[in-house]
Chain A
Amino acid sequence: MGNLSIFPPRGSAFAGQVDLLYTFLLVVSAIMMVLIFGCIFIFAVKYRRRPGAPPPPQHHGSMLLEAVWSTIPFLVMLVMFVWGAKLYFDSATPPANTLDLYVTGKQWMWKVEYPGGQREINEIHVPTGTPVKVTLASEDVIHSFFIPAFRVKHDVVPGHYEIAWFQATKPGRYHLFCAEYCGADHSKMGGWVNVMSPADYEVWLSGGERGGSMVDQGAKLFSQYGCVTCHVLDAKGRCPSLRNMFGHPVQLDDGRTVMADEAYVRESILDPNAKIVKGYERNVMPVFQGQISEEGLLQLIVFVKSLSQPPEQPVPTKGPPVTAKGSPK
């Protein structure tokens, strides 16, 4: 209240870029409105019907005018398209070396988990200056992860992993909304994003209780569900070894090759027979559809990821602090 700006707070550099593009469109719209409404107003006054006046001259059209008023707006629109597409492309491709968060939406709350094992509900803490990649999962219906201050929004779709990312620049407390209608308390499915200076963030990270990092929890689930008996890590088992599997292409028995990404691992846990690795048998692994929570799945995926050790992302094997430190942009 009392704030008469037409812009929400800008918590990231990207927000400023979107606002600039928005301002460009506002200016173009204003020009168009002045032109059209101005013409109509002038014509309506100047050529108002006068009793006894001769009937007006008739104009059937002008190819030149049609060409001009089709082409010029289209060219202006192309500028909007390219500019908007460029920003969208940036917003859809996170940089390397991100701080990774895992957010699960369910009716009607946001559950947040950090690689170090910290968990929160409806609160997110991030440092300034580090790109943050959020992996989004849903336990039930479609939600949408919306942080107006970052001009970031992405639907959270059950059965999919979606990615949103941002890099906060200004410490503050910003709204987190659910933007996709999700049932009774949709409007209350909100929370706060707390942007802190890196030093404050370190302090925040080290406080509070936790039950081990996501990798540790994933490892625990990995043995708890008995995965470890068949997916022997460093020898040939009944199921493929998961060592160095994530992020690499996988040969399937039907001749296809797929990339082992989050979606592949998820599908292989929930519906193992959907894709069988070449040289392995069908129906060996039980179907886990409905058996593991979305958060458990994310922990397992982080664990499987950790077995691959991609060079650019050292995997913390024990506790926090995590990637935030030592991976500045």
Chain B
Amino acid sequence: MNITFEQPKIKESPNYLNIRYGWRSWLLTTDHKRIALLYLFSITAFFMIGGAFAVGMRLNLTSPNGLLFSPETYNKLFTMHGIIMIFFFLIPSIPAVLGNFLIPLMIGARDLAFPRINLLSWYLYIIGGIVAVAAVASGGVDTGWTFYAPFSTTYSNTHVIMTAVAVFVAGFSSILTGLNFIVTIHKMRAPGMTWFRLPLFVWSHYATSIIQVLGTPVVAITIVLLGLERLFHAGIFDPKLGGDPILFQHLFWFYSHPAVYIMILPGMGVISELVTCFSHKTVFGYGFVAFSSVAIAVLSFLVWGHHLFVSGQSMYAGLIFSLLSFMVAVPSAIKVFNWTATMYRGSISYDTPMLYAFGFIGLFTIGGLTGLFLATVAIDVHVTDTYFVVAHFHYTMVGGMVMAYLGGIHFWFPKITGRMYPEGWARFAALVVFVGFNLTFFPQFILGYLGMPRRYATYAPEFQSLNVLSSAGASILGVGYLIPMIYLAWAWNRGPRAPANPWGAKGLEWEKSPSPPPTFNFDEMPVVTENAYNYGAAPGATEAHG
């Protein structure tokens, strides 16, 4: 059923945005939608900071000897780029903004299960973020985001402890968000919203939440051990004190490999929504797409050793981790194939969110296929710690997650703000992002196989032309990210009013709630009577089968 929402000419109807004004109504809010916006603005700020570091790096790398910065400064740039982008942008990006906003709306709930904990998790994130910025302001840190011991525990003279505290605190924000989602999805579903009627966005967030709750405590413990070692010389990681540096890598990657799935599963959830909506088709293989998320979450805990193929881990362990790493590729491939099949005989429109979905599938496929190179041990030995790896994870996390995030932001922008964005500018920006991204990161695959190690402030002259190409691409990519910030900010105030369901999409957030939604989401408790993505039953539609 479509609710057409007539906007009164004089006064807006009450919604979550206009119901109250003033800083208290934002900073003390327990409304999941307002908290989502708090996250939206804060992660955007961190994206700008992390992006500025990337600009510095790419500028420096246009010259083999380093154009602008000393190696010490460059090392801090890539370290802070990684830490800010991973812990303060990518991990919270889709879950804390879109997940927060949409999960209650999608399952027919008034809010998350624990609204105050939701606010607490934003405050923890902000405290962590402020500590991280303070660490940058007071001189930065140079350990790499991986904090490998004994460099981080004994040798680095930078602000390791302060940065570690920042990551530690932000970790609790992530745990609480995951916990909140799990409880909400279990307990708050509307009547008729069975597990297999859940939108795939919810399934992928459920899988993500499992990783956040089970994995993040391990990195918290690892950070505590790192602190004990650095401050009190506990002898856990430093061989001179009787420790073992490889232990740190096991602990670190036991969290941080699953964490890369925290950084992609929510994106996959967004893409499932976009592909169905803009093809006007029910998703192909719902059960397979849903369970592949869970399979990825489970397998993600069994592959950490593929980061240690050359670290001195047992050769036999390496072989097992190699095999398991191939296995985690299967559920990812299943998703790509099902999205493709969903488009078959669909009614495909080229609205901006769909352009981002096309981009995601293309870039994530390349990211996934190059993951196979890294799972193949003999190739990994050659390309690990080179630009090949840098290119690979940027294809999955930036080509994947950031494309999905932008696609999702455009898709739900009318719902979040009650306004439409300018479609022409948006399509143009999506194209610029896609071109800029490939120009930036594709040359890095070649650089990596040619043997250029990552985290290099200076490099051998034969690598210069590809580095210049990559930096040129980065400047295009940067523009591609700036354009949406400008027109979305404009459209928030000046864009044309959006109807409740501008895309003709299925889902409670579109069909049962106005744009923007009221504080408690639904005027009356929705009752669900059909499966997700029942596009065959759209008004005026005739059902072909099922």
A residues touching B (Cβ–Cβ < 8 Å)? 1, 3, 6-8, 17-18, 21-22, 25, 28-29, 32-33, 36-37, 39-40, 43-44, 47-50, 53-62, 65-66, 69-70, 73-74, 77-78, 80-81, 83-89, 91-93, 107, 140-142, 144, 146, 148-149, 151-155, 157-160, 162, 175, 177-188, 190, 271, 289-290
Contact = CB atoms under 8 A, between A and B. Distances in A.
A107 B155 contact: yes
Given A43-B340, A47-B345, A58-B535, A157 B312 contact: yes
A44 B312 CA distance: 48
B538 A55 contact: yes
Interface in B308-342: 309-312, 315, 318-319, 322-323, 326-327, 329-330, 333-334, 336-338, 340-341
A276 B435 CA distance: 64
A48 B148 CA distance: 50
A21 B378 contact: yes
A86 B333 CA distance: 25
A159 B378 contact: no
What are the 4 A-B residue pairs with the smallest beta carbon separation, nearest first?
A159-B239, A148-B451, A57-B544, A84-B376
Given A33-B369, A162-B312, 11 more contacts: A47-B347, A54-B542, A55-B536, A58-B546, A84-B377, A107-B155, A141-B151, A151-B381, A157-B312, A159-B243, A179-B384
B193 interface: no
A67 B68 CA distance: 54
Nearest to B336: A36
16 contacts: A8-B450, A17-B378, A22-B373, A25-B373, A36-B337, A40-B340, A56-B280, A61-B285, A70-B330, A73-B333, A84-B379, A142-B151, A154-B312, A154-B381, A181-B151, A188-B71
B458 interface: yes
B326 A81 contact: yes
A191 B239 CA distance: 26
A191 to B, nearest CB: 12
Contact of B345 (A21, A56, A154): A56
A43 B323 CA distance: 34
- Residue in B243, B245, B309 whose Cβ sees the most chain A Cβ within 10 Å: B245
A104 to B, nearest CB: 14
B457 A80 contact: no
Nearest to B370: A29
A6 B449 contact: yes
B51 interface: no
A47 B449 contact: no
Interface stretch (B42-50, B212-220, B400-408, B460-468): B460-468
Interface string B229-262: 0000000001110111110000000000000000
Contacts of A77: 326, 329-330, 372, 375
A159 to B, nearest CB: 3
B208 interface: no
Nearest to A151: B382
A73 B330 CA distance: 7
A3 B461 CA distance: 12
Nearest to A5: B450
Contact of A83 (B242, B334, B376, B546): B376
Given A59-B345, A66-B288, A181-B455, A290 B379 contact: no
A48 B349 contact: yes
Contacts of A53: 347
Contacts of B222: none
B285 A39 contact: no
Nearest to A152: B381
B115 interface: no
Contacts of A87: 377-378
Contacts of B377: 84-85, 87-88
B148 A142 contact: yes
A90 B457 CA distance: 33
B349 A49 contact: yes
B148 A88 contact: no
Contact of B462 (A1, A50, A158, A290): A1
A187 B458 contact: yes
Given A55-B535, A56-B279, A141 B155 contact: yes
Contact of B346 (A56, A70, A148): A56
A60 B239 contact: no
A142 to B, nearest CB: 6
